[in-house]
Amino acid sequence: MTDRDYVPNLIRPDSQWRELLSDPEYRVLRQGGTEAPFTGEYTDTETEGIYECRACGAELFRSDQKFHSHCGWPSFFAPLAEDRVRYLEDRSIPGRARVEVRCSNCDGHLGHVFEGEGYDTPTDLRYCINSVSMRLREAD
């Protein structure tokens, strides 16, 4: 399936997203915004659990995949499963190609993934994810 054939599982009209999400959540998840660095709820948390999409509740990342990158946003070295996220080429910054990460269930913007930065992780990937796009469901 090509990206242009992609259809999210959860489709809602924009007016419904605006009702369900706070202004900062809407700006990031539906408009592709970014929260300010070092301000997010989960930037430094080490609580055990599953990080879910704040828009639709899809499980995205495990706390044991999270690491301290000191970049200002929560960082993970892998998603819970590859089918939980989708990737888009992002050329919004001239001269700097990036890979956008979106929730595959609702198509909400989560952040970006970077490769080859030298972090001591199993994948050499850094999923730089906005705290406001996720909710932590703590382990029992």
pLDDT at 3: 62
37, exposed or middle or buried, with CB in 10 Å at 0-12, 13-18, 19+? exposed
pLDDT at 2: 47
**Domain 10-138: which CATH number of 3.30.360.10, 2.170.150.20, 2.40.30.10, 3.90.1150.10:** 2.170.150.20
Q: What is the pLDDT of residues 109-128, one digit of tens each?
A: 999 999 999 999 999 999 99
Q: What is the pLDDT of residues 63-99, one digit of tens each?
A: 999 999 999 999 999 998 888 999 988 887 777 778 9
Q: Which of 56, 103, 106, 128 is catalytic?
A: 128
pLDDT at 28: 97
Residue 6 scores a pLDDT above 70: no
Q: What is the pLDDT of residues 10-44, one digit of tens each?
A: 778 889 999 999 999 999 999 999 999 999 999 99
Of 71, 73, 69, the closest CA to residue 42 belongs to: 73
pLDDT band at 1 (very low <50, low <70, confident <90, very high): very low
Query: What is the rounded distance in angstroms from the CA atom of residue 35 to the CA atom of residue 20?
Result: 19
pLDDT at 92: 74
Secondary element (H or E) of residue 85: strand 85-93
- For residue 36, the SS3 value is coil
Let me know if 128 is a catalytic residue: yes
